[in-house]
Amino acid sequence: MAEAIDRNSGLYDPELEAMSADRRRAYHAERLRAVVKYAYDHSPHFRRRMEHAGLTPAAITQIHDLARLPVLKKSTLPQLQKQDPPFGGLLAAPLSEVSRIFQSPGPLYEPEGRRPDYWRMTRAFYAGGFRPGDLVQVTFAYHLSPGGWMCDGGLRALGCVVVPGGVGNTELQAQCLRDLRVMGYVGTAAFLSTLITKAEEMGCNVLEDLCLRVASVSGAMMAESMRHMMADRYRLTIRQIYAIGDLGLVGYECQKASGMHIADDLILQIVDPQSGIELEIGQPGEVVVTVFDHLYPLIRFGTGDLSAVTTEPCRCGRTSARLTRIMGRVDEVTKIKGMFVHPRQVDEVVAAFPEVLRYQVVVRLKGHDDQMAYLVELASGVKPEPLLTKLRDKTRELLKITANVEVVPPGTIVEGAKKILDERRWD
């Protein structure tokens, strides 16, 4: 029987999502002036940053004025937080206004405020076809990492019923999909594929026994072949969301799937990663975001992600520019299974094992799933198995990622080889 719910049309917030270009510029400029003044008065780090650049709030009144302020690189946050714990002087409100604190690899600590849907995710789920009353299974982590809570809050604000699945427990989660007649999935594309495969192994006919209609995926790029396969084989609509734990929603696909609409309540610029100069429309560069948040006002924040913007109109009716896709990382940081991993972090893991003479991390795709593997050269006489188990455990502890370990002959890893070699290819 055909589903009566219209999942393909309408805007969640027409006033914001369909505003004219002139109105959007004025709206952004007004919000920018307010957050710059507030951050200057309340965020010790932002005030120092402004003073170092010789600026006062009066110098930043329009979007183009942001070019006068150096980009705040995400990669610098762990060191800032060590120097001035817990948030590097970036928090602009009393700690009592923080509801949760998360930890991402780095370590990097991220605050969540107390307002509903703090991460501004609701409109992304609506654009992806989720509707009030939907039963939705969230498979991002709820432990320390912000992903599960970010999605949970946005879905509940939309009126959805959330099943907090978290990561792993594939058989139990597949059982939930069937028993609860779950309509929506939120998580990585790789785990969605794993869940559906497990459900079929358990004897489910996906079209007849499951009620899955929509999925929002994030944390890693999705191959277009997977999107088409899921639609053709299972009648499942998959849309991508671009969100980060530092500041929440950045972009999201609508039903047209022609790029990710830039969230209306932030300023996004594509800049040259070295100079910070804003690039022309269509040129790839670093995604730099200014968010209008008085708790944790990240202004001209360099995400380290590489993308480009298109201003071609979208048939959905939303008037924002769109990100074409996330092309990768602009520095050495590599996103693996939705987690950012820097060579320095891997060095920290391997440093605990002096028996490892040389190593390289290789990231591959197995089906639609990221696979992280160490290639290691060991000292003479070292028994591999106990060491490899400890290395896997240490990686899971520090990086929150499961990795394989392969012993290779001495001389396999050449001098000066990249610490993290990304061999993934997306069609």
pLDDT digit of tens for each residue in the chain (427 aa)?
Answer: 446 788 988 899 999 999 999 999 999 999 999 999 999 999 999 999 999 999 999 999 999 999 999 999 999 999 999 999 999 999 999 999 999 999 998 899 999 999 999 999 999 999 999 999 999 999 999 999 999 999 999 999 999 999 999 999 999 999 999 999 999 999 999 999 999 999 999 999 999 999 999 999 998 878 888 999 999 999 999 999 999 999 999 999 999 999 999 999 999 999 988 889 999 998 888 999 999 999 999 999 999 998 889 999 999 999 999 999 887 777 766 778 877 677 878 888 999 999 999 999 999 988 888 999 999 999 988 888 889 999 999 999 888 899 999 999 999 998 888 899 999 986 6
Strands (E), 125-190: 135-138, 161-164, 184-187
Q: 232 lies in a domain?
A: yes
Strands (E), 36-75: 72-73
Q: Same domain, yes or no, for 217 and 194? A: yes
Q: Same domain, yes or no, for 126 and 272? A: yes
Which residues neighbour 201 within 8 Å (Cβ) at sequence distance 6 or greater?
Answer: none
Q: What radius of gyration, in Å, describes the C-alpha atoms of the chain?
A: 22
Residue 106 has a pLDDT of 84
Question: Which H or E run contains 23?
Answer: helix 21-42
CA-to-CA distance for 289 and 63, rounded, in angstroms?
Answer: 11
**Residue 37 Cα to chain centre, angstroms:** 28
Residue 333 has a pLDDT of 67
Boundary residue ending a domain (315, 331, 347): 331
Q: Same domain, yes or no, for 405 and 285? A: no
Peptide bond into 107 cis (omega under 30): yes
Q: Same domain, yes or no, for 151 and 38? A: yes
Q: 3 lies in a domain?
A: no
Number of domains within the chain: 2
Q: Same domain, yes or no, for 129 and 263? A: yes
CA-to-CA distance for 285 and 277, rounded, in angstroms?
Answer: 10
Q: Same domain, yes or no, for 285 and 415? A: no
CA-to-CA distance for 130 and 39, rounded, in angstroms?
Answer: 35
Q: Helix-strand-coil percent breakdown of the chain, rounded to 5?
A: 30, 25, 40
Q: What is the CATH number of the domain that holds 262?
A: 3.40.50.12780
Boundary residue ending a domain (297, 314, 331): 331
Assess contact for 384 and 407: CB atoms under 8 A.
Answer: yes
Q: 240 lies in a domain?
A: yes
Query: Residue 346 in 3-state DSSP?
Result: helix
Q: 9 lies in a domain?
A: no
Domain region containing 67: 14-331
Q: What is the CATH number of the domain that holds 417?
A: 3.30.300.30
Q: Same domain, yes or no, for 305 and 401? A: no
Q: Same domain, yes or no, for 285 and 327? A: yes
Q: What is the DSSP string of 174-231?
A: HHHHHHTT--EEEE-HHHHHHHHHHHHHTT--HHHH----EEEE-SS---HHHHHHHH
Q: Same domain, yes or no, for 341 and 197? A: no
CA-to-CA distance for 412 and 396, rounded, in angstroms?
Answer: 25
Q: 5 lies in a domain?
A: no
CA-to-CA distance for 3 and 9, rounded, in angstroms?
Answer: 14
Q: 257 lies in a domain?
A: yes
Assess contact for 418 and 360: CB atoms under 8 A.
Answer: yes
- How is residue 267 annotated by DSSP? E
Q: 91 lies in a domain?
A: yes
Spell out a b/e string for 361-386, using b for 16 or more CB atoms within 10 Å of the CB, else e: bbbebeebebbbbbbbbbeeeeeeee
Q: 2 lies in a domain?
A: no
Cβ neighbour number for residue 346 with a 10 Å cutoff: 22
**Residue 303 Cα to chain centre, angstroms:** 10
Closest C-alpha among 242, 245, 257, 370 to residue 307: 242
Q: Same domain, yes or no, for 219 and 343? A: no
Please count the residues of the chain: 427
Q: Same domain, yes or no, for 111 and 214? A: yes
Tokens of 377: 């050269």
CA-to-CA distance for 332 and 193, rounded, in angstroms?
Answer: 28
Q: Same domain, yes or no, for 167 and 80? A: yes
CA-to-CA distance for 222 and 140, rounded, in angstroms?
Answer: 16
CA-to-CA distance for 405 and 389, rounded, in angstroms?
Answer: 9
Pairing of strands 184-187, 161-164: unpaired
Boundary residue ending a domain (331, 364, 393): 331
